Chain A
Amino acid sequence: MLQIKHLRVSINQKEILKDFNLEVKAGEVHAIMGPNGTGKSTLASVIAGRDIFEVTEGEILYKGKNLLDLPPETRAREGIFLGFQYPVEIPGVSMANFMKTAVNEIRKYKGLEPIGGADFLKLMEEKKKLVEIQSKLNNRSVNEGFSGGEKKKNEIFQMAMLNPTLSILDETDSGLDIDALRIVANGVNKLRTKDNATVVITHYQRLLDYIVPDFVHVMYDGKIVKSGDKHLAIELEEKGYDWIKQELEANASI
């Protein structure tokens, strides 16, 4: 579904992703871990189409198509979803208006009729339940005045509304209390099918107890330096990143 090959990305002449490679197939869950400032969010932004980053080398193929040629909205309509590490507050844009516009833009792209008002409200209610949002969301401005945890829940709510093929969740677990973590993870699990895929970026092994990954990758200084199964996350939690650094240095000195 997603193939990232030899990707190099810079911002302001500073190289952040350095020969990054990753392949994600339908039905898989990948976890990416790695120290602060390694380039995890940069990777997520580049996949979603943020244009402040410059791709200097490499390619990203999504369903066989060259993703880098597409504007962010087309990527979204093709089924890519980014759960933001820092969701943006947009005063004056109501959640209902935002979601209705998004759902209809995606439907239009697929050649479907716009969703009716009643059906839309039903869909909102149904997906709110999935992430156990009790509050009246519809008339609130996007993320405005939401607590840290509410913002993260709101990301998963949007994911549920848009029903993406490939979801990249950038630290959706940080800032969540234990109950919220379980709710969010359950939400993600319920949305899992054999046809879609998820990439979770996280600092905590704990999330992976709930969303069990098929692969765990450790990212360091702009690339993946180690991959394994869910046990790698446990090992990482025990030994910390120094362990990875030492291994890298040892390899380098050979």
Chain B
Amino acid sequence: MEQITIDISLKDKMLALFEKNKQLLFKNNSKSMIDIKNNAIAKFNEIGFPHTKLEEWRLTNIEPYLKAEYQHHLQTKPIDVDIESIFQCEVPDLDTFVVVLFNGRYIYKHTPLTKLDNGTIIGSFEKALEEYPEIIEKHFNKYAKNDKNGFVALNTAFAQDGIFIYVPQNIIVEQAIQIINIINTTEEVFVQPRNLFIVEKNSSITLVSCDHSLTQTNSFSNAVTEILIDENAQLNHIRVQNKGKNSTLLNTTFVEQKNYAMLTSNVLTLNSGFIRNDLDISLNGEGCEANLYGIYLADKTQFVDNHTFVDHLLPNSNSKELYKGILDDKAKAVFSGKVMVRRDAQKTNAFQANKNILLTDEATINTKPHLEIYADDVKCSHGATVGQLDNEAMFYLRSRGLGEDCARMLLMYAFADEVINKIPIEALRVRLGNMVSKRLRGELSVCDQCVMHCNSKSPTQFNIDLSKL
């Protein structure tokens, strides 16, 4: 554990921390990985943390969250946790393979890395460095762009642990993999998980990621995920975020898709302190399909930011994007969706929409869907709406006997449902649908999570109430 005095900036702290801990950070790293990390820290030194003068960060003021006196746990401590004592799966019809990151480190009951009969490898990134160095070497930092922003560079430099998933060719992984990210600590922590998911040719897998925080302490999570979806392979990625108000989460995901690769991403943000999700997708193949869906529900002073970038590099690919938000109280949300169609990407179809409901005058949404097109034979559309609940529909429902609150609930749920019904697994769709209704009724607490049953005696409660209007 590193204790650093607070009179120097976090940037300097991080640079010093890197210098001091090279041995730990480079453990089991190949020469080329060490080069990558050295280059990444140099990049971070050059560009620093992003700030609001940068166009991409204009509306995401991260600076106040860099001020806390965070602890950085670089030393691998053997973590002895009985996973089932912390949580148990609450979705009865959902049979998943569960992996857990606890304060950014992989925790496990039996083994840190599992190889299934079909050859699929699931487990700790750190352990994979030791056991499958050739796979890591081949893919590490090949999809993440360290120059995207200082956080990505920093994560690369400090990459130690995270989730590693490898699906070999021609394998359909039937069981969904459930990735649980828990922050639960009494100290203020800064964690930087690094995930790597490789889906080889003709294979397919479904991932369900859940981001949770169980305590009220300040925490900062700078997570980077690299994903390769190789030719004709498929990845469904469902992400549920239910975070406490003092948690800061940056989630940057890079996806590389080869010919005919298919991605479906669903991001459901139910509660947040400060969340920014960056989804950076390279359609680096022909006939790719990328479907990006998102729903964000925020109230009080919560902040949710979704930045997406879809890069059409080659012909005949389709991308479709639908993000929807309901904002109450003084909540703030940002949506920035960029679709780039490069000169070679003829016959691209790109559709993008962002729709929002503001329940108060003080809630704000900044939405910026944009297209940049350099090919001439393409079909693209984009649009954004911001509105209130439909009065005509409210009256129609009430005229049938539904109370005002009930009618409002039903309409808000209906608004969200367009995204929820895109979730590919039925049991999960039903369960997440229920969570969204609960959230809208103001009954969802941080200990009532999609997959977890918190056994702690005094669960953290915080009030969420979208229903009171």
Contact = CB atoms under 8 A, between A and B. Distances in A.
Interface string B382-414: 000000001111011111111110110011011
A90 interface: yes
Contacts of A88: 390, 392-393, 395-396
Nearest to B403: A73
Given A88-B393, A90-B393, A82 B414 contact: no
A162 B391 CA distance: 22
Contacts of B390: 88, 90
B417 interface: yes
B415 interface: yes
Contacts of A81: 399
Interface stretch (A57-65, A100-108, A117-125, A130-138): A100-108
B385 to A, nearest CB: 13
Contacts of A101: 402, 406, 410
A97 B399 contact: no
B465 interface: no
B443 interface: no
Interface in B90-119: none
A105 B403 contact: yes
27 contacts: A49-B395, A49-B398, A50-B395, A52-B391, A71-B398, A71-B404, A72-B395, A72-B399, A73-B399, A73-B404, A76-B398, A76-B399, A77-B401, A82-B399, A88-B390, A88-B395, A90-B396, A92-B413, A92-B418, A93-B411, A101-B410, A102-B397, A105-B401, A105-B403, A142-B396, A158-B400, A162-B400
| Size range of the chain A interface in the assembly | 20 to 34
A72 B398 contact: yes
Given A71-B404, A88-B392, A93 B410 contact: yes
A139 B398 CA distance: 20
Closest 7 CB pairs of A and B: A92-B414, A76-B401, A92-B417, A102-B400, A72-B398, A88-B396, A105-B401
A149 interface: no
Nearest to B417: A92
A75 B411 CA distance: 21
A161 to B, nearest CB: 9
Nearest to A84: B396
A77 B391 CA distance: 20
Given A88-B393, A90-B393, A73 B401 contact: yes
Contacts of A97: 410
Contacts of A50: 395
A75 B400 CA distance: 9
Contacts of B410: 93, 97-98, 101
Chain B binding site: helix, strand, loop or mixed by DSSP? helix
B418 A98 contact: no
Most chain-A Cβ atoms within 10 A of its Cβ — which of B390, B396, B417, B418?
B396
B404 A98 contact: no
Given A49-B399, A93-B413, 20 more contacts: A50-B395, A72-B398, A72-B399, A73-B398, A73-B402, A73-B403, A75-B399, A90-B414, A92-B415, A92-B416, A98-B397, A98-B410, A102-B400, A102-B402, A105-B401, A105-B406, A109-B401, A141-B414, A142-B396, A162-B400
Given A50-B395, A101-B406, A105-B406, A90 B411 contact: yes
Contacts of B411: 90, 93
A188 to B, nearest CB: 18
Given A92-B413, A93-B410, A98 B395 contact: no
A43 B346 CA distance: 57
Most chain-A Cβ atoms within 10 A of its Cβ — which of B390, B400, B410?
B400
Most chain-B Cβ atoms within 10 A of its Cβ — which of A82, A88, A109?
A88
B325 to A, nearest CB: 15
Contact of B414 (A49, A71, A93): A93
A113 B378 CA distance: 57
A178 B79 CA distance: 76
A87 B396 contact: yes
Nearest to A45: B395
A141 B406 CA distance: 17
A148 interface: no
Contacts of A49: 395, 398-399
A35 interface: no
A114 to B, nearest CB: 13
Most chain-B Cβ atoms within 10 A of its Cβ — which of A48, A50, A73, A158?
A73
A76 B413 contact: no
Nearest to B400: A102
Contact of A91 (B397, B398, B403, B418): B418
Contacts of A71: 398, 404
Contacts of A106: 401
Contact of A76 (B392, B400, B418): B400
Contact of A48 (B393, B399, B404): B399
Interface string B275-299: 0000000000000000000000000
B2 to A, nearest CB: 50
A40 to B, nearest CB: 17
Interface string A145-172: 0000000000000100010000000000
A73 B414 CA distance: 20
Nearest to B418: A92
Contacts of B414: 90-93, 141
A87 B400 CA distance: 12
Nearest to B392: A88
Nearest to A101: B402
A106 B406 CA distance: 13
A158 B410 CA distance: 17
Most chain-B Cβ atoms within 10 A of its Cβ — which of A75, A76, A88, A92?
A92
A92 B387 CA distance: 17
Contacts of A102: 397, 400-402
Interface string B360-392: 000000000000000000000000000000111
Contacts of B391: 52
A50 B392 CA distance: 9
A90 B398 CA distance: 13
Interface string A20-55: 000000000000000000000000000011101000
Nearest to A72: B398
A63 to B, nearest CB: 16
A98 B404 CA distance: 14
